[in-house]
């Protein structure tokens, strides 16, 4: 993990073929296939495994490798097949540095990533917090990237629900990045997980965020973009999630808001499903059939079941004044004999009442 910049798919294949110990020796000796050499030549002389483990332990982190029971092999499978297809942001990590009490496959069994803009609006931050809270309260793990704005709000929402949340970092797990989220990362690591494929001490870098995003996408069954600028890391996560076959949802916002432009673009182009409520998110990304959203079907009116003619007859009745059957026929344009048949039906369902000399609408 120290000798190659992730994702290092050639090295991964080599490790899988010859085993990690032999691989380490042969990388150090440059006795490796050309593709592996390309990935490792710049750092193959580095030999600080012991130091890395110590650094990790100092912040209470452990290293989880594919040989471990805890390895989330099933969740990472999509990254392997994507790499086989030559997909850009793919490739299984060589291992994961993990800080926190939760165990990997457990937390990712029912996980949703909630991502978005760092420069989020108040609307975006409250939506992220509400969605994070609601998902966690429903027993889902909230995965995000610990950034300012949407990410942080989503993590906090999950923590406020006493739920599980996972921060996937683009730097070492011993780095507090962003620095302003040091306390938040500590809180996350108390009950959930802070994870990274980068060895301790690795600083964040632009390309590492993109590489990290594939893990966020892979480790959850769906990605919800809460707010996103036109070009943003969140959109990269959404694109990667879609390419990995995951559900992608986007929360709409006012069209006057620059921080919703990315979400609207995802929705306009059909790259994301509209996330209009927590229930809709749970229905789309939760375990199949467990969270069926009550799709809004609005207020019911007492005239709902009426056919066209009956509706017209009902409308032709006055609320207070009495109207003759003949008058109702003219007003409604419905033939008199039909009106004579419909009015008693409306009376039966409580929509019309017979009065001295005619009919009127029954009061609500």
Lookup: tokens for 231: 């070009």
Instruction: Choose one: 25-33, 163-171, 236-244, 250-258; the region binding its own copies (CB under 8 A).
Output: 250-258
Contact present, 149 and 120 (Cβ < 8 Å): yes
Q: Is 273 a binder of its own copies (CB under 8 A)?
A: yes
Q: Is 311 a binder of its own copies (CB under 8 A)?
A: yes
Closest CA to 216 of 283, 279, 168: 168
Q: Is 296 a binder of its own copies (CB under 8 A)?
A: yes
- Measured between alpha carbons, how far is 364 from 343 in angstroms, rounded to an integer? 17
Q: Is 38 a binder of its own copies (CB under 8 A)?
A: yes
Q: Is 271 a binder of its own copies (CB under 8 A)?
A: no
Q: Which of 136, 216, 334, 352 binds its own copies (CB under 8 A)?
A: 334
Local structure of residue 180 (DSSP, 8 states): G
Local structure of residue 204 (DSSP, 8 states): P
Lookup: tokens for 45: 């002389």
Contact present, 110 and 140 (Cβ < 8 Å): yes
Local structure of residue 219 (DSSP, 8 states): T
Q: Which of 23, 39, 129, 144 binds its own copies (CB under 8 A)?
A: 39
- Measured between alpha carbons, how far is 223 from 128 in angstroms, rounded to an integer? 12
- Measured between alpha carbons, how far is 146 from 170 in angstroms, rounded to an integer? 10
Residue whose CB is less far from its own copies, 190 or 303: 303
- Over the window 115 to 154, marking each residue x when it contacts its own copies by CB under 8 A and - when it does not, the resulting string is --------x---x---------------------------
- Measured between alpha carbons, how far is 81 from 77 in angstroms, rounded to an integer? 6
Q: Is 177 a binder of its own copies (CB under 8 A)?
A: no
Distance of CA 161 to the CA centre of its chain: 17
Alpha helix ranges (H) inside 322-364 = 325-332, 336-348
We find the least distance from the C-beta atom of residue 151 to its own copies, in angstroms, to be: 19
Residue whose CB is less far from its own copies, 160 or 303: 303
Residue whose CB is less far from its own copies, 75 or 332: 332
Strands 247-250 and 222-225, bridge-based pairing? parallel
Q: Which of 30, 336, 344, 350 binds its own copies (CB under 8 A)?
A: 336
Q: Which of 17, 30, 42, 182 binds its own copies (CB under 8 A)?
A: 42
Note the residues at the interface with its own copies (CB under 8 A). Answer: 4-5, 37-39, 41-43, 46, 123, 127, 205-207, 229-232, 251-256, 260-261, 264-265, 267-268, 270, 273-277, 280, 295-299, 303, 308, 311-312, 315-316, 329-330, 332-336, 339
């Amino acid at each position: 993990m120290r000798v190659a910049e992730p994702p290092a798919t050639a090295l991964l294949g080599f490790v899988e073929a010859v085993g990690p110990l032999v691989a380490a020796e042969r990388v150090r000796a440059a006795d490796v296939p050309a593709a592996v050499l390309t990935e490792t030549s710049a750092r193959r002389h580095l030999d600080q495994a012991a130091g890395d483990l110590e650094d990790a332990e100092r912040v209470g982190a452990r290293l989880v490798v594919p040989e471990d029971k805890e390895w989330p092999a099933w969740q990472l499978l999509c990254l392997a097949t994507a790499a086989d297809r030559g997909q850009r942001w793919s490739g299984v990590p060589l291992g994961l540095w993990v800080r926190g009490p939760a165990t990997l496959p457990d937390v990712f069994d029912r996980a949703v990533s909630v991502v978005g803009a760092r420069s989020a609006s108040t609307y975006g931050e409250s939506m992220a917090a509400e969605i994070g809270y609601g998902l966690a309260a429903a027993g889902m793990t909230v995965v995000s990237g610990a950034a300012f704005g949407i990410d942080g709000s989503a993590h906090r929402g999950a923590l406020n629900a006493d739920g599980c949340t996972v921060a996937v970092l683009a730097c070492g797990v011993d780095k507090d990045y962003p620095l302003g989220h040091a306390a938040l990362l500590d809180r996350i690591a108390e009950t959930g997980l802070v994870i990274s494929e980068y060895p301790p001490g690795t600083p964040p870098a632009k390309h590492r965020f993109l590489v990290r995003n594939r893990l966020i996408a892979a480790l959850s069954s769906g990605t919800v973009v809460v707010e996103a600028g036109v070009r943003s890391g969140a959109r990269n996560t959404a694109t990667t999630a879609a390419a990995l076959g995951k559900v992608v949802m986007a929360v709409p916002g006012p069209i006057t808001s620059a921080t919703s432009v990315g979400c609207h673009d995802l929705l306009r182009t059909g790259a994301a499903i509209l996330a209009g409520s927590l229930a809709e998110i749970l229905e789309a990304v939760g375990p199949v059939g467990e969270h069926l959203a009550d799709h809004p079907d609005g207020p019911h009116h007492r005239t709902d079941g009426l056919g066209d003619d009956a509706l017209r007859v009902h409308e032709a009745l006055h609320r207070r004044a009495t109207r003759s059957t003949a008058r109702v026929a003219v007003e409604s344009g419905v033939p008199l004999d039909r009106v004579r048949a419909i009015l008693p039906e409306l009376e039966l369902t409580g929509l019309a009442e017979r009065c001295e000399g005619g009919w009127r609408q029954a009061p609500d």
